[in-house]
Amino acid sequence: MLTPVFAKANPISVGISLSEISFDESGDWSLEIRSMDSAMYLGSIYIQTCSGTAQITNFESNANWGDYEYVVITNKNLSKSLTINKDYDCIKLITSPHFVIGNDSVCLGDYPGSYLKNITNGQSIACLDEYGSFYKDNTPTMGAWNDLSGAVGQIYGQVYGLNNQLITNKYFYIDEGNCEGSIDIDEKGSYSAKITSRIYSISQLYIYTRLPKTHWELVQFKPVHFDVEENDSIRVDFVQTIASVEKTKQESVLLSNYPNPAKDFTYFIFDTDKDLSSLLITVYDLEGRKVDSFVPGSTKHVWNCSKLAQDTYVYALSSGNQILGTNKFQVVK
């Protein structure tokens, strides 16, 4: 992808964001920008796709929801025509040389990092607000505030702790996408939630209990991957793989590794007052299988990972039966 260089262009402040991209039945695109005052940015905004970069040269704002304007851009508003490929593309709002402006980019199709695949003509890619993630919407609202009509499916299932014991009478959140808020786990370990249309990859959740006192645990689960479309109803079970970590305890221990990603070796680095001889570092793959377990020789312990396959791994620092902290690292070849 080309990196543009623009002379004498001033960065624009947070307050403008990429809000929606719609594809009509012929596949032609239109793009919506959300802003407090779009007119002040005219001449400063560029759209970049895999096909190139173009300046927004003109537009008409549509201030029809509160203080925000929703500006719809097509190739007619650009200094040159751009293609947006819904099967492989990354769309950005940029200025010189590149300035993060709110929710300023989204990847589509098979582009690395994309969670939006199988986009069809007549759909849009929308964002509920400038800080949320995008989702697929079958009822585009170009030029107006985005809603969730035409963009919601459902997941349901059960939540299992260690040894396949059901977790009951608690609740959790899903940070990816736009979910309905807290998701209750009933007395049978079952849950049900409405969730926006996109791909999800989840391997850990904060699990909360309300009474007698709010308490939470960061729980590592067997990774689940699922693709939600409007009106889907998909069973997704969460199965815990390693002991959970209380958030307050995790934050009291500084646990990291370097380099990350690693190739041949990595240093596990931590800070604790506990005696080294009482500590244990255990490495797991994402399926919860133990890869290695050892007593660290120091608070900066070097570990040979050259025999591991390229993947993501989880490691836990423990003392006796107490998990002090967990973290993740990648191995690359």
Q: What is the pLDDT of residue 297?
A: 87
Q: In the structure, what pLDDT confidence band is assigned to residue 37 with cuts at 50, 70 and 90?
A: low
Q: What is the pLDDT of residues 24-34, one digit of tens each?
A: 999 899 999 88
Please state which of the ranges 24-28, 115-119, 216-220, 261-265 shows the lowest mean pLDDT.
216-220
Q: Does 59 fall in a domain? A: yes
Q: Is the pLDDT of residue 39 over 70?
A: no
Query: Given the structure tokens 């239109």, which residue do they identify?
Result: 30
106 and 50, same structural domain? Answer: yes
Distance CA 112, CA 56 (A): 26
Range of the domain at 49: 16-137
Q: What is the pLDDT of residue 144?
A: 86
264 and 224, same structural domain? Answer: no
Q: Does 147 fall in a domain? A: no
Average predicted confidence (pLDDT) for the chain: 82
Please state which of the ranges 33-37, 54-58, 200-204 shows the lowest mean pLDDT.
33-37
With beta carbons less than 8 A apart as the criterion, state whether 194 and 168 touch.
Answer: no
Q: What is the pLDDT of residue 140?
A: 95
Residue that is last in its domain, among 219, 241, 263: 241
234 and 171, same structural domain? Answer: yes
- What phi, psi does 186 have (nearest 5°)? -80, -175
What the block records as the tokens of 285 is 């793959």
202 and 300, same structural domain? Answer: no
Number of domains the chain contains: 3
Q: Is the pLDDT of residue 324 over 70?
A: yes
Q: In the structure, what pLDDT confidence band is assigned to residue 320 with cuts at 50, 70 and 90?
A: confident
Please name every residue paired with 192 in a beta bridge, in sequence order, or none if there are none. Answer: 156
CA contacts within 13 A on the Cβ side of 123: 23
Q: Does 132 fall in a domain? A: yes
Q: Does 93 fall in a domain? A: yes
- Beta-sheet pairing, 300-304 with 238-239: unpaired
User: Which is more confident, 129 or 251?
Assistant: 129
Q: In the structure, what pLDDT confidence band is assigned to residue 220 with cuts at 50, 70 and 90?
A: confident
Q: What is the pLDDT of residue 7?
A: 30
User: Which is more confident, 248 or 22?
Assistant: 22
Helical H segments across 200-257, by residue range: 247-252
235 and 251, same structural domain? Answer: no
Give SS3 for 276. helix
With beta carbons less than 8 A apart as the criterion, state whether 88 and 170 touch.
Answer: no
Q: Does 21 fall in a domain? A: yes
Q: What is the pLDDT of residues 254-290, one digit of tens each?
A: 788 888 888 889 999 888 888 888 899 989 887 777 8
120 and 202, same structural domain? Answer: no
Residue that is last in its domain, among 137, 167, 192: 137
Helical H segments across the chain, by residue range: 247-252
Strands (E), 95-237: 105-109, 124-127, 134-137, 152-160, 170-172, 183-185, 190-196, 199-209, 215-227, 233-235
Q: Does 53 fall in a domain? A: yes
CATH of the domain at 216: 2.60.40.1120
218 and 271, same structural domain? Answer: no
